[in-house]
């Protein structure tokens, strides 16, 4: 006797499995769909050089988004991220100009070991992070207002730093080759098997941040603070200490991103980093980080960044006007979040 119920159960099981898989991996499916669609319309998009270029650009964006993402998980926000990146970029660029460059910021500056300018750029981000964390954790200023203030301060500081009267703020160029290699060089056996250095650095940062979120007490506390602040306090979490730490980590990441941005572009201006914080926050939210706090993953942030950069690059390759690019990006943000929201509402 044949079992007439098995096919129906199997079909329902398969349909349910497909729905669950689609719900859990909605953001990844959106990314794959974008790549396939753009590659089908314009085959040059799928060229190895173009894909590597997307990853190069994504490397800096990912580091910024990780810093913003951790803060978002605590139910905070950081509007100073982009301008902190710019401040770090001009500082490190001014310290690695070639000795023979005519328009040096510091003409008498001796040749510095490479790690010192890099530390200076990262330290700039660290200082901004400390200020943000202190103002939010101890002065109880809402993160939106606190980081808006430091955003303006960082913007003014970077402009003052490169201001050379009577010409005003000037671009910084003539950077040393050993520094620009961080952004444009590669590591490997030969040209065929070489991996861009900036991508390797971003991967290491991503891995360390993933470990921090998933395997350390700090990571657990970040989720606890964002999920339920009162419960976190009752359970013994030192909220002030952890908030300062997550803002400091964000600042360090912004500083490192500024260093890599200057290395990749071969220079810096006081306009570097403009609007980067909004792209980073949007990428994190697209990747599943909740603006209400307590939810988000490093992998989701990575996927959100890739979606943004694939979208940016693909629209340029397709010849879409800048105005339509903004419209399309807005639709993608809303659609991706709508598809992904079901997974997290169920967990809540």
Contact by Cβ (8 Å): 179, 37: no
- The whole-number pLDDT of residue 21 equals 65
- In this predicted model, what pLDDT tens digit does every residue of 212-229 receive, in sequence order? 999 999 999 999 999 999
For residue 97, what is the DSSP state? Answer: B
The more confidently predicted of residues 235 and 322 is 235
User: Among 77-81, 97-101, 191-195, which range has the highest average pLDDT?
Assistant: 77-81
What rounded mean pLDDT belongs to the chain?
87
What value does the mean pLDDT take over residues 65-71?
96
- The whole-number pLDDT of residue 7 equals 55
Q: Determine the Cα–Cα distance for residues 248 and 130; give it in Å rounded to an integer.
A: 5
Pick the closest to residue 250 from 107, 84, 46 (CA basis).
84
**What domains can you pick out in the chain, each with its CATH number?**
41-347 (1.10.3470)
Does residue 166 have a cis peptide bond before it, meaning omega lies within 30 degrees of 0?
yes
- The whole-number pLDDT of residue 24 equals 67
- The whole-number pLDDT of residue 1 equals 46
Q: Determine the Cα–Cα distance for residues 308 and 292; give it in Å rounded to an integer.
A: 22
- In this predicted model, what pLDDT tens digit does every residue of 148-187 receive, in sequence order? 999 999 999 999 999 877 777 788 999 999 999 999 998 8
Only one residue has tokens 């089908």, namely: 40
Asked whether the predicted pLDDT for residue 10 surpasses 90, the reply is no
Asked whether the predicted pLDDT for residue 84 surpasses 80, the reply is yes
Contact by Cβ (8 Å): 172, 92: no
Q: What percent of the chain has pLDDT over 70?
A: 87
For the ranges 41-50, 116-125, 227-236, the lowest mean pLDDT is seen at: 41-50
- In this predicted model, what pLDDT tens digit does every residue of 116-142 receive, in sequence order? 999 999 999 999 999 999 999 999 999
């Amino acid at each position: 006797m044949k079992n007439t119920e098995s096919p129906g159960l199997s079909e329902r099981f398969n349909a349910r499995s497909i729905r669950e898989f689609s719900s859990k991996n909605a953001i990844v499916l959106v990314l794959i769909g974008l790549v396939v669609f753009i590659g089908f319309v314009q085959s040059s998009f799928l060229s190895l050089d173009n894909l590597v270029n997307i990853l190069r650009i994504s490397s800096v964006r990912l580091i910024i988004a990780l810093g913003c993402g951790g803060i978002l998980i605590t139910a905070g926000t950081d509007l100073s991220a982009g301008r902190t990146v710019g401040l770090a970029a001009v500082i490190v660029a001014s310290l690695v100009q070639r000795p023979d460059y005519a328009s040096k910021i510091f003409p008498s500056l001796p040749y510095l070991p490479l790690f010192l300018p890099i530390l200076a750029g990262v330290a700039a981000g660290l200082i901004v992070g400390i200020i943000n964390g202190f103002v939010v954790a101890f002065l109880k200023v809402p993160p939106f207002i606190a980081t808006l203030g430091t955003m303006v301060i960082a913007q003014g500081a970077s402009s003052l730093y490169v201001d050379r009267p009577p010409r005003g703020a000037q671009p910084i160029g003539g950077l040393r080759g050993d520094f620009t290699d961080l952004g444009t060089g590669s590591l490997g056996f030969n040209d065929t098997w070489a991996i861009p250095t900036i991508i390797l650095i971003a991967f290491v940062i991503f891995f360390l941040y993933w470990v921090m979120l998933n395997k350390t007490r700090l990571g657990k506390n970040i989720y606890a603070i964002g999920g339920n602040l009162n419960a976190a306090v009752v359970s013994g979490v030192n909220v002030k200490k952890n908030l300062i730490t997550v803002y400091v980590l964000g600042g360090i990441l912004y500083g490192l991103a500024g260093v890599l941005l200057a290395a990749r572009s071969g220079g810096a201006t006081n306009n570097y980093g403009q609007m980067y914080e909004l792209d980073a926050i949007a990428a994190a939210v697209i990747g599943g980080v909740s603006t209400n706090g307590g939810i988000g993953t490093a992998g989701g942030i990575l996927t959100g960044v890739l979606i943004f950069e694939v979208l940016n690059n693909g629209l340029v390759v397709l010849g879409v006007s800048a105005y339509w690019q903004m419209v399309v990006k807005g639709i993608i943000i809303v659609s991706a979040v709508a598809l992904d929201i079901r997974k997290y509402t169920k967990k809540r």
